[in-house]
Amino acid sequence: TFKPESPAIQFATRHDVRGFAAVELAEREMHKYPPFVRAALFRVEHEDASVAATLAADVKSAVDLAAAQASLPKAQWSALGPAPCALERAHGRTRWQVFVRTRTVSQRSAIVDGVRRSEAVKKAIGRQRARFVVDVDPVHLL
């Protein structure tokens, strides 16, 4: 490993699953990551970087609208982005994302369903022949 001091490596060398879980769960709670929140990742992919960025902004607008239509207080959800994905280019496409966190499954569902039903998003994605991915409880953000 390049980081032998990493807590994960240190716990693994001691076979300390409970210790690792306690530290990891505390970190996840502090940073508001699952299982303490519900998450959804909206990703847009297109050959043209500026088109991908514009479509991701459209998705963010749809997220905001869906949350407003569901009467979700801003303290109960957050959206990060739009921003380029960590792996910005893949298979000849530029990838942008919007990451949403909510407190409950029903709040996340309201936002995800609202974005999926958004005629503006459907039309923009279809018109540009872009790829649109919705990942509920994403395992990674690459």
Q: Which residues neighbour 86 within 8 Å (Cβ) at sequence distance 6 or greater? A: 141, 142
Whole-structure pTM value: 0.83
Q: Where are the alpha helices (DSSP H) in the chain?
A: 7-13, 17-30, 49-69, 105-117, 119-128
- Torsion angles phi and psi, residue 78, rounded to 5: -150, 155
Find the helix packing angle between 119-128 and 49-69, rounded to 10°. Answer: 170
User: In the predicted model, what is the mean pLDDT of the chain?
Assistant: 94
- Please check the confidence at residue 106 and state whether its pLDDT lies above 90: yes
Q: Pick from 71, 139, 57, 136: which is nearest to 100 by CA?
A: 136
HEC readout, 30-55: HCCCCCCCEEEEEEEEECCHHHHHHH
| Residue 142 pLDDT | 61
- Please check the confidence at residue 19 and state whether its pLDDT lies above 90: yes
36-49 pLDDT tens trace? 999 999 999 999 99
90-99 pLDDT tens trace? 999 999 999 9
| Residue 42 pLDDT | 97
